[in-house]
A and B are shown apart, each in its own frame.
Chain A
Amino acid sequence: DTAVSQTPKYLVTQMGNDKSIKCEQNLGHDTMYWYKQDSKKFLKIMFSYNNKELIINETVPNRFSPKSPDKAHLNLHINSLELGDSAVYFCASSQRSGGRGETQYFGPGTRLLVL
């Protein structure tokens, strides 16, 4: 049983296109996240949702729009893709109640390549 799953695993697309990445967790967690890992392997948070409510929104271009239909799902839609969006995008989830000590569980990542 996969705890945090993402689809697709690989995504190759042209500049200017719009694409979505889906994430689902079956851990019963309240909070979900999107992280971006760039070509140098640096990981940075993009968004966090708690029970469908946006709670963290780092300085991310508004071409990126997260959507949480329910607390088990957090999707990431990207409009007008640019070359610099090429990266690995990780979804994660955690319980909210533990605060900053709470473990975040990561999905396998979606490797996005924009041509």
Chain B
Amino acid sequence: AQSVTQPDIHITVSEGASLELRCNYSYGATPYLFWYVQSPGQGLQLLLKYFSGDTLVQGIKGFEAEFKRSQSSFNLRKPSVHWSDAAEYFCAVGQGFSGGYNKLIFGAGTRLAVHP
């Protein structure tokens, strides 16, 4: 069955430090992968997605993610974290159905705290 694992439930970094959030997936075919961010009390916003081509994907807010098929991973990175990046981060894989429909299977999320 398709699944997404985010091994880190909670991460704390200092402002200005680099960040890497881990995501591992299990999917039989070529995965379509997404990172969403949820700020406190808010909905989910797409940071970036991968479905083909360059394995290093650039997103909004200075985030990037690298798809590594051999490791079944899609880790999210940012070189310098800002206090406003404190939020919940969700990795997801798109599961398709005939007819072009799809649903997202989410990981459990990683809560990021940023120290000043």
A-to-B contact residues, CB < 8 Å:
4, 31, 33, 35, 40-45, 48, 50, 55-56, 90, 92, 94, 96-109
For residue A95, which residue of chain B has the nearest CB? B100
User: Size band of the B side of the interface?
Assistant: 20 to 34
Taking the complex as formed, is B14 at the interface, i.e. its CB lies under 8 A from any CB of chain A? no
Would A31 and B51 be within 8 Å (CB), given that A41-B108, A101-B32, A106-B44 are in contact?
Answer: no
For residue B106, which residue of chain A has the nearest CB? A43
Tell which of A45, A96, A107, A109 touches B104, judged by Cβ atoms closer than 8 Å: A45
B-to-A contact residues, CB < 8 Å:
32, 34, 36, 38, 42-46, 49, 51, 88, 90, 94-97, 99-106, 108-109, 111
19 A-B residue pairs with Cβ-Cβ distance under 8 Å, sorted by A, are A41-B108, A42-B108, A43-B90, A43-B104, A43-B106, A55-B101, A96-B100, A96-B101, A98-B102, A99-B100, A99-B102, A100-B102, A101-B94, A101-B102, A103-B49, A106-B44, A106-B45, A107-B43, A108-B43
For residue B27, which residue of chain A has the nearest CB? A100
**What are the residues of chain B within 8 A of A108 when measuring CB–CB?**
42-43
Query: Contact at A94–B102, with CB atoms within 8 Å?
Result: yes
How many residue pairs at the A-B interface have CB separations less than 8 Å?
74
Complex CA–CA separation, A16 to B61 (angstroms): 44
Say whether chain B's binding surface is mostly helix, strand, loop, or mixed.
Answer: strand
Residue from A4, A56, A99, A105 with most neighbouring chain B CB atoms (10 Å): A99
Distance (whole angstroms) from the CB of A85 to the closest CB of chain B: 19
**What are the residues of chain B within 8 A of A94 when measuring CB–CB?**
102
**What are the residues of chain A within 8 A of B51 when measuring CB–CB?**
101
Distance (whole angstroms) from the CB of B74 to the closest CB of chain A: 14
Query: Contact at A90–B44, with CB atoms within 8 Å?
Result: yes
**What are the residues of chain B within 8 A of A105 when measuring CB–CB?**
46
